[in-house]
């Protein structure tokens, strides 16, 4: 089996990031209740109320961040009215935490920086330190490694001067994570070893477990497998002792992978299974996906193909749900980076503008001032134009990314149905059919992989894909499926462009909800026609139709159709067209009409 394409690096580092927010664990409802009670009783606008507000918001950080905003805003308002800078800075930090938990890194960064400013003015070193680390986390999230490192280093220095060892440990491990992320494993290892030594001194088992695990990962990257195994085992044992199943499962998975590299398949299987049990217990989807990957590789090497297939399917299914989450966060990340760049550019221009104005003023020459004002307006006009272009380009980029994400969602959908069929053939012992199916399936998969990167492919190519797809489905239906494809003569299939696989969900619907339930041979007719500046694609079947199809199948069918509707909407938005999908119930079967803008290659 080929390597799956560009999966993110599994077998993770354990972040100490969440630990950096001082003392907020999972709050007990009773604590929150009594705090809210106290707040209600104490309505005077003073420092007691401010502290209560911050505390209550703190308790709500992980359970209900959205509703905690009015509390911190009130705390900020009271402190600023009463000129209580310390209160204001702590309230700002809490507000930053809320933004961070809600995933709005940029807003968090903004308030953290305000809080930092205030903390500096009153010389509150420990508050400053915690802010440095939080700001570092945000830059790390945004993959601005230099700036993350800068903040972490400052955090480290501050922790060292204050003699705060836990903070020192956190700083060292986060610095190490940055080094490892930027592939400087030697530096990473050095920092982790320091952090490990300190946490052993402090007898903080949780830190020791997490750091040992990260250290093992760095050794694995350095291809020092014996050392990696040793550390993973240590991390797993310690995590087990302190009952942290999260770290334990991750470490066990990693032991599994390293053992696969070392070809100790039995050991790999043992650890993979243990990790799977644990991660199922704590419902950690990503970890489960990793365990299934370990198991699938073990089975494959042992030649237990049916088992391997099952494990691989589980892996892909779980990985898929993780991946689409990652796609989303990738999108937000890009958006934030853009916003940040724009803010920076604006700030720089603001500074330049001020210089310009100031110089003019100093010269005292009214004429010069006039010229500078005029030039500022000219300059502003140019800047605005540039800005506008940037925004337009960005929107196009976002739309494109969305389209890509939508296209990629189609693939897993498809792969599963096919894997199910192969598995069905295997269980029926129909090796010949399974083989014929598998070869066709791999051809189709290859073509989909090649095309899913493209925005448009020629109609000719797409119809070839669809034909191959229908051939596959026909095998699954024991050849109870006939099809025809008609393209009007005034269309050049090799010069007409369509979004790849746009018809596939409808064909799939027709087959599985129209024809399959019918019990005897059904037919699908695909017609492509030209209608003005639109391309009309018709998928028509003689199945049982929508009225007869059960509720259950209707719901299943909606995902692919929904994705396609979204794709067409985005295309409409980008190209200013009026693409559409119409479903028409026939006496016998369903007719779907898809209107796409007629795009030509030349």
Tokens found for residue 92 = 């700002």
Q: Which burial class, exposed, middle or buried, applies to 43 when counting CB atoms under 10 A from its CB (0-12, 13-18, 19+)?
A: exposed
4 binds other proteins (CB under 8 A): no
Nearest by Cα to 94 from 114, 123, 121: 114
Q: Could you tell me the smallest distance in angstroms from the CB atom of residue 4 to other proteins?
A: 11
Chain residues 562-601 in contact with other proteins, contact rule CB under 8 A: 600-601
- 2 lies in the site for other proteins, by CB under 8 A: yes
Q: Identify the residue among 237, 346, 488, 494 touching other proteins (CB under 8 A).
A: 494
Q: Which of 201, 329, 420, 442 binds other proteins (CB under 8 A)?
A: 442
Select the residue interacting with other proteins from 419, 438, 563, 583 (CB under 8 A).
438
Give whichever of 4 and 37 is closer to other proteins, judged by the CB atom.
Answer: 4
**Of 64, 70, 83, residue with least CA distance to 39:** 70
Question: Which residues, in sequence order, are CB contacts of 483 under 8 Å at separation 6+?
Answer: 467, 470, 474, 523, 524, 525, 526
257, 11 Cβ separation under 8 angstroms: yes
Contact 91, 54 (CB under 8 A): yes
CB nearer to other proteins: give 373 or 600.
Answer: 600
CB 513 within 8 A of CB 554: yes
- Considering only residues 479, 495, 550, 558, which one is a binding residue for other proteins as defined by CB under 8 A? 495
Residue 463 CA to residue 494 CA, distance in Å, equals 11
Q: Is 602 in the site for other proteins (CB under 8 A)?
A: yes
- Token match 């070193």: residue? 125
Closest CA to 155 of 122, 192, 126: 126
Q: Which region, judged by CB under 8 A, interacts with other proteins, from 95-103, 146-154, 180-188, 441-449?
A: 441-449
The span from the first CA to the last CA of the chain, in angstroms, equals: 39
Q: Which has the closest alpha carbon to 137: 164, 101, 166?
A: 101
Total residues at interface with other proteins (CB under 8 A): 13
Among residues 355, 446, 454, 531, the one that binds other proteins under rule CB under 8 A:
446
Of residues 60 and 596, the one with the C-beta less far from other proteins? 596
Q: Which tokens in the block code for residue 165?
A: 């060892």
Q: CB-wise, 160 or 601, nearer to other proteins? A: 601
The 448-467 site mask, x for binding other proteins (CB under 8 A), equals -x------------------
CA-to-CA distance for 90 and 72, rounded, in angstroms? 9
Binding window for other proteins (CB under 8 A); candidates: 87-95, 331-339, 384-392, 435-443: 435-443
**432 or 587: whose CB is closer to other proteins?**
432
CB 287 within 8 A of CB 275: yes
Decide whether 139 or 441 has the Cβ nearer to other proteins.
Answer: 441
User: CB 150 → other proteins: shortest distance, Å?
Assistant: 31
Q: Which is nearer to other proteins, 246 or 394 (CB)?
A: 394
Instruction: Please tell me the distance from the alpha carbon of residue 125 to that of residue 116, in angstroms, as a whole number.
Output: 10
Nearest distance from C-beta of residue 446 to other proteins, angstroms: 7
Binding site for other proteins (CB under 8 A): 2, 438-440, 442-443, 446, 449, 494-495, 600-602
């Amino acid at each position: 089996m080929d390597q799956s394409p560009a999966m993110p690096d599994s077998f993770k580092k354990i972040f100490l990031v969440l630990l950096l927010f001082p003392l907020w664990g999972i709050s007990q409802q009773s604590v929150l209740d009594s705090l809210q009670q106290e707040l209600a009783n104490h309505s005077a606008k003073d420092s007691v109320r401010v502290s209560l507000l911050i505390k209550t918001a703190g308790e709500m950080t992980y359970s209900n961040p959205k509703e905690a905003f009015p509390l911190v805003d009130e705390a900020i308002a009271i402190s600023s009215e009463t000129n209580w800078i310390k209160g204001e800075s702590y309230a700002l930090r809490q507000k930053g935490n809320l933004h961070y938990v809600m995933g709005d890194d940029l807003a968090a960064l903004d308030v953290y920086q305000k809080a930092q400013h205030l903390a500096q003015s009153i010389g509150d070193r420990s508050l400053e330190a915690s802010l440095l680390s939080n700001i570092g986390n945000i830059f790390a999230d945004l993959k601005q490694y230099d700036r993350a490192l800068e903040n972490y280093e400052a955090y480290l220095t501050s922790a060292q001067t204050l003699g705060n060892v836990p903070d020192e440990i956190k700083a060292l491990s986060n610095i190490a994570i940055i080094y490892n992320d930027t592939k400087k494993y030697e530096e990473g290892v050095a920092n982790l070893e320091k952090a490990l030594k300190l946490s052993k001194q402090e007898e903080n088992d949780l830190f020791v477990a997490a750091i040992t695990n990260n250290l093992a990962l760095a050794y694995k990257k350095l291809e020092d497998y014996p050392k990696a195994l040793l550390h993973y085992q240590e991390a797993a044992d310690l995590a087990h002792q302190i009952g942290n199943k999260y770290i334990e499962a991750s470490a066990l998975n990693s032991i599994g992978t390293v053992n696969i590299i070392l070809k100790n398949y039995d050991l790999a299987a043992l650890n993979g299974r243990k990790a799977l049990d644990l991660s199922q217990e704590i419902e950690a989807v990503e970890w489960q996906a990793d365990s299934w990957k370990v198991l699938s590789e073990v089975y494959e090497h042992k030649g237990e193909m049916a088992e391997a297939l099952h494990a691989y399917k589980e892996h892909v299914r779980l990985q898929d749900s993780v991946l689409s989450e990652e796609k989303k966060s990738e999108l937000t990340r890009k958006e934030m980076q853009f916003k940040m760049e724009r803010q920076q550019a604006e700030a720089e221009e603001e500074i330049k503008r001020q210089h310009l104005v100031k110089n003019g003023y100093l010269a005292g020459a009214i004429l010069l001032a006039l010229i500078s004002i005029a030039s500022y307006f000219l300059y502003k006009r140019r800047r605005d134009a540039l800005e506008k272009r940037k925004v337009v380009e960005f929107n196009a980029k976002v739309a494109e990314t969305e389209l890509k994400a939508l296209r990629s969602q189609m693939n897993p959908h498809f792969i599963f149905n096919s894997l199910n069929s192969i598995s069905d053939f295997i269980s029926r012992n129909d090796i010949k059919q399974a083989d014929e199916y598998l070869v066709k399936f791999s051809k189709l998969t290859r073509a989909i992989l090649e095309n899913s990167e493209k925005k448009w492919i020629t109609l000719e190519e797409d119809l070839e894909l669809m034909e191959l797809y229908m051939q596959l489905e026909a095998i699954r239906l024991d050849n109870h499926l006939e099809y025809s494809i008609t393209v009007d003569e005034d269309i050049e299939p090799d010069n007409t462009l369509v979004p790849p696989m746009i018809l596939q969900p409808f064909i799939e619907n027709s087959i599985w909800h129209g024809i399959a339930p019918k019990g005897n041979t059904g037919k699908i007719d695909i017609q492509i026609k030209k209608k003005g500046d639109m391309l009309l694609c018709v998928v028509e079947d003689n199945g049982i139709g929508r009225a007869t199809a059960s509720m259950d199948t209707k719901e299943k069918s909606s995902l692919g159709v929904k994705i396609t509707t979204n794709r067409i909407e985005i295309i409409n938005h980008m190209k200013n067209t009026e693409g559409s999908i119409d479903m028409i119930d026939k006496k016998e079967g369903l007719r779907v009409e898809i209107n796409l803008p007629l795009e030509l290659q030349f």
